[in-house]
A and B are shown apart, each in its own frame.
Chain A
Amino acid sequence: MYLTKEEEKMIQGEEGPVIEKAMKIIVKIGEALGAENLINISHAHVSGLSYLTIGEPGLLFIKNFREQGARTRVFSTLNPVGMDLQIWNKLNISRDFAEKQEEIVRYMYEMGFEESLTCTPYLIREPKEGEHLAWGESSAVGMANTYYGAHTNREGGPLALMSAITGKTYNAGLHLSENRIPTTKIVLTDGINLSDPGIAGIIGYIVGEKIGTGIPLLETKTSLTYTAVKAYTAATGASGSIAMSVIKGITPGYKDLVKKIDKIEKIEIDKKEIQDYLPDENIEPDLIFIGCPHADMDEIIELKKILEKCNRTKTPIWVSTSRYIYNKALKHGLIKELEKKNVLILRDTCPVVSPAVRGRFKKIATTSSKSYFYIPRMQNSPTIVIPFHWIGDYACR
């Protein structure tokens, strides 16, 4: 791999052992992926921070970098952790877990990471078209590439940490324009309600399962909403390993990307396949969960509207969001409105990476297909996926 003089110095230890170690890891990964050189990034987003998912080995890995004096060199954000840092003791979280989780967060803050703790870093700092990022968090990677036209691979959490402290990543995969050309056209039959993020997520789930990897091309008659793109991309990265889709009317540079298509496969998804994912009408969930990825303002406002028709909800509703969006919603009086309707708003975390739901619910209804994939696997809790517009039916009975 070709390295600049500056990069040579870094990898030879002239900037200290932690930079040397991080550079060696980046180069090794890059070489395995055929990278010819390294590039500078403008934003690193690190995943793998929940004590539930990374455990002792992950904590020690991070601690090691902290103790050797690692510091972030670019704007660097953090993924959700295993609990809401403020109200964890009301959420079935043990003191032991909380201490370990706080330890991880402390190390990250001490290394210079932004107080973020969200899977929606693009809401904190909007990626620019064409800019290079090193992001972990498959749902955020999907948005960065698909919606914002920025360039990032689906980086493992550890690699994103190495990139945060060096400001570098390897130049391969989606950093190269020639690798961003669609490979599979998704044909949707008529009658599919694309404006509902719950439905958009199911489409993503099916795409991920059917094609696994590659770059799907979506040309829909009506444009997907922002929240729908968010739900769709998150699901493709859960059931599959898709890091980017090209969506007409959404993806920057769509026309140029489509022009470059040489050969493209085709798969069809019909209305019935989507309906097969939906539960029977007489299912009674004991929890409704939204916010995977973390709820944005549109979702919070939409939820408020839906619940305006209820006096008090019968089924508890949990919403996961970022501190960033929570504070915005708070200013607009939305948090108070939702709390009046028995909604619990969680910051910093979500049921996928937190033990908060474990063993507590018989049936969780979620609008998130990503959660539909993970919650049963991670928390052993039966989960069903529903369209957003069904929330009222389940909540307000």
Chain B
Amino acid sequence: MQIRKLRIKVLVEGSAEGEIIFLDSPVSFLGEVDPKKGVVVKSGKEINIKNKIMVFPNSRGSTVGSYVIYALRYYNNSPKAMIVKKAEPILITGCILGEIPLVEIMDENSFTEIKNYHKAIIDSENKLLILTN
């Protein structure tokens, strides 16, 4: 079993653990996320994020994105947590209202390593992300 620990900055508190869904491009919540289905849509493909640990570099696009994240919670389709390289106000607002834990990876260069792991555990108290395979 492989294990890796990364230091994180906690933006929206909460512990979470689950299967990693790694997206390597920025996500525009308005236009690229369907809150009624709980999926990210990229190039016509639907990627399920419900109950997953959603990992992506950053959010982009519309300020309405906060409402889309809130809607994920409303429709009971939210990811268990979100992990990003850099969080912006739109994302933070949405996660606060949607009660979705949100963390930033402290060492940006380690971000892509997350791709190699299957499961993530967010330890908010110790500010650690534990990755396992």
Contact = CB atoms under 8 A, between A and B. Distances in A.
B60 A54 contact: no
A47 interface: yes
Interface stretch (A69-77, A156-164, A271-279): A156-164
A136 interface: yes
A58 interface: yes
A25 B28 contact: no
Given A29-B89, A157-B67, A241 B31 contact: no
B116 to A, nearest CB: 23
Interface in B59-78: 59-68, 70-71, 73-75
A213 B88 contact: yes
B93 A377 contact: no
B61 A159 contact: no
A212 interface: yes
Interface stretch (A106-114, A196-204, A232-240, A322-330): A232-240
A55 B32 contact: no
A47 B11 CA distance: 23
A155 interface: yes
Contact of B89 (A58, A154, A239): A154
B75 A32 contact: no
A349 interface: no
B71 A156 contact: no
A239 B60 contact: yes
B64 A377 contact: no
B67 A158 contact: yes
A22 to B, nearest CB: 12
Contacts of B51: none
A56 B71 CA distance: 8
A53 B96 contact: no
A378 B33 CA distance: 10
A145 B96 CA distance: 26
Contact of A377 (B11, B28, B67): B28
Contacts of B73: 57
Contacts of B59: 241
A374 interface: yes
A28 interface: yes
Interface residues of A, number: 41
B31 A138 contact: no
A361 interface: no
B89 A153 contact: yes
Given A32-B11, A56-B74, A154 B26 contact: no
A348 interface: no
Interface residues of B, number: 37
B32 A377 contact: yes
B119 interface: no
B30 A53 contact: yes
A296 interface: no
Interface in A148-177: 153-160, 173
The residue among B11, B63, B71, B97 with the most chain A CB atoms within 10 A of its own CB is: B63
B90 interface: yes
A267 interface: no
B12 interface: yes
A48 interface: yes
Interface in B1-58: 11-12, 26, 28, 30-32, 35, 41, 57-58
B93 A238 contact: no
A32 B11 CA distance: 5
A208 interface: yes
B44 to A, nearest CB: 10
Interface in A208-229: 208, 212-213
Given A25-B96, A29-B89, A55 B63 contact: no
B29 to A, nearest CB: 10
Contacts of B89: 29, 33, 153-156, 159, 173
A390 interface: no
Contacts of B74: 56-57
A238 B61 contact: yes
A25 B87 contact: no
Given A48-B66, A159-B66, A238-B61, 5 more contacts: A32-B96, A154-B89, A155-B63, A156-B67, A378-B30
24 contacts: A25-B97, A32-B92, A54-B67, A54-B71, A57-B67, A58-B70, A61-B70, A154-B90, A155-B93, A156-B63, A156-B89, A157-B64, A157-B67, A158-B94, A158-B97, A212-B26, A237-B61, A238-B60, A241-B60, A241-B61, A353-B64, A373-B28, A374-B61, A374-B62
Interface of B: 11-12, 26, 28, 30-32, 35, 41, 57-68, 70-71, 73-75, 86-90, 92-94, 96-97, 102
